[in-house]
A and B are shown apart, each in its own frame.
Chain A
Amino acid sequence: MTMNDFERGPHGPRDAELAVRLETYARDRLTPDPAARGRLRAELIVRANEVLGPSRAPIGRRGFFGWLRWRVAPAFVAAAFAVVLLAGGALAASHAGGPLYGARLWLEDATLPSDPDARLDAETAHLQARLDEAAAAGAVGDAGALRAALDAYGRTLETAASITGANTDRANRLGWVIGRQRDVLSGLVERLPAGAADAIERTLQRTQDRLQQVENGANPGGHPGGPATAPGPGKSGGPGSTPDPNGPGRTPAPNGPASPQPDASPHSGGPDKSPKP
């Protein structure tokens, strides 16, 4: 919706002036902090992977092929049984350190989406998966699996860092995830034998380097308390979070507030063509 729409309203220029003032107010007081948005997004993606999970595929729609499925059900069950046997073997072999682990990682890489944001989301999920594998391997004292998972974590980290490039929003999101995972890695070091702990120490160092690189990318000026600092989980900056150092009202929203509508007045009964949020 544009200013012109409002100028056509019953009060013409006065309504246009009101629209300008409302826009100024929205820009100054209602513009979200990009760093807080990035942190919240990163946290939500991590939670989405936990809450939604790949196993929650919706039940297929019944209908046209329902009858056909019923007819071939016995054959389908037999085939599924065979597939389960094969998949079970493959799954066991594709665990961290297993013979098919590399193939699984390759497959994950090959199926990454091309859109940078979606790609970063996927790599974030992979980072969490590698960390979970490392934690599981550490818990049972499987040093080979632990090393394999940490190596894969490091490689994924490099890829994820390269995806962020100079994009501040992506860098903020990755910075939040790395900061959170660093804490998990630090916790692992204390619970593992010396040999395994060395591998984690190296990964921690690598993580620290990448975190620094990401923070620099997100905040070339290097002001203190930059946007890539990681808050505690569960809060997007929390009640004590500070506004954007550049001023909350100085950064225009990606899609700014809509202007008042021509149908603001009952005098005008035109169709409603306001943009969707």
Chain B
Amino acid sequence: MTLDDGEIERSVDLARSGDASAFGRLFDHFHDPIYRFIASRVERPSDAEDLTQIVFVKALEALPRYESRGIPFGGWLFRLARNAVIDFVRTRREHSELGPAAESSGSGPGPAELAELNEEIGAMRAALDALTDEQREAIALRFFAGLSAREAAEVMGKQEGTVRGLQFRAIAALRRRLGLEASEGPAGGDDGGPRP
């Protein structure tokens, strides 16, 4: 379900006045982007599910006191998600890496295709892990959650230009890590360097 800005605002007002189904509409609209943002920042799908639940429960409980104050509801929700991820990473620095094969079922493609897919997924994961935290967050918000640069900047508390720069350097680094870099290409600048 997709809602435009006006419908989101109306749904927020209705939910605040006690209409639970309006909150359901907001959930339908924001669940997947919020989940994708969180899942791109934590290792396990079960952690992503738990954190997504925490975000929506917090949003529900804070909704009666919610005031826009220039920040749209979506931005507010993503801030809750960002804080939940930061708290989670801070308190539970778990790196129990599950291989792509363990996370993905093989009901679709055959063994050879699956192996190739797993290799591709693993390479992408490694490339994303090599980004700085801010670059990864910019990619997660812009690409996986589908926010605009302005919205991502609001969530990250940065200038829009800064987010565009982070995204540019992140894409350059991903390209290089994945062997997609043009030899004569202009993107050989600072990518922020891999994380230690």
Q: Which residues in A have some Cβ–Cβ distance to B below 8 Å? A: 1, 10-11, 14-15, 17-18, 21-22, 24-26, 28-33, 36-37, 40-41, 43-45, 47-49, 51-58, 113, 117-118, 121-122, 125, 235-241, 243-250, 253-255, 257-261, 263-267, 272-277
Contacts and interface: CB of A to CB of B under 8 A. Distances in A.
Interface string B146-176: 1111110000000000001101100100110
Given A29-B125, A32-B32, A49-B20, A247 B117 contact: no
A265 B168 contact: yes
A276 B144 CA distance: 12
Of A51, A52, A266, chain B has the most CB atoms within 10 Å of the CB of A52
Given A32-B39, A258-B144, 6 more contacts: A43-B53, A236-B52, A238-B50, A246-B105, A250-B105, A255-B146
B64 interface: yes
A10 B186 contact: yes
B46 A40 contact: no
Nearest to B72: A276
Nearest to B45: A243
A277 B32 CA distance: 8
B121 A25 contact: yes
A118 B18 CA distance: 14
B16 A56 contact: yes
A276 to B, nearest CB: 7
Contacts of A275: 146
Contacts, number: 246
Contact of A40 (B56, B106, B120): B56
A28 B121 contact: yes
Contacts of B17: 52, 56-58
Given A14-B175, A18-B174, A53-B18, A41 B143 contact: no
B185 interface: yes
A50 to B, nearest CB: 9
Of B4, B146, B185, chain A has the most CB atoms within 10 Å of the CB of B146
Of B5, B29, B39, chain A has the most CB atoms within 10 Å of the CB of B39
Interface string B1-16: 1101100000001011
B36 A11 contact: no
B175 A11 contact: yes
B143 A243 contact: no
Contact of A44 (B19, B27, B150, B186): B27
Nearest to A269: B164
A15 B178 CA distance: 11
B52 A247 contact: no
A40 B30 CA distance: 13
A237 B33 CA distance: 19
Contacts of A117: 1, 21, 24-25, 28
A85 B95 CA distance: 64
Given A24-B117, A235-B53, A30 B24 contact: no
A266 B174 CA distance: 16
Contacts of A267: 186
B107 interface: yes
B9 to A, nearest CB: 13
A31 B45 CA distance: 9
Contacts of B27: 40-41, 44
A22 B60 contact: no
B182 A247 contact: no
A258 B138 CA distance: 13
A15 B20 CA distance: 43
Contacts of B71: none
A260 B1 CA distance: 22
Contact of A30 (B28, B36, B61, B171): B36
Contacts of B186: 10, 267
Given A45-B23, A247-B104, A261 B60 contact: no
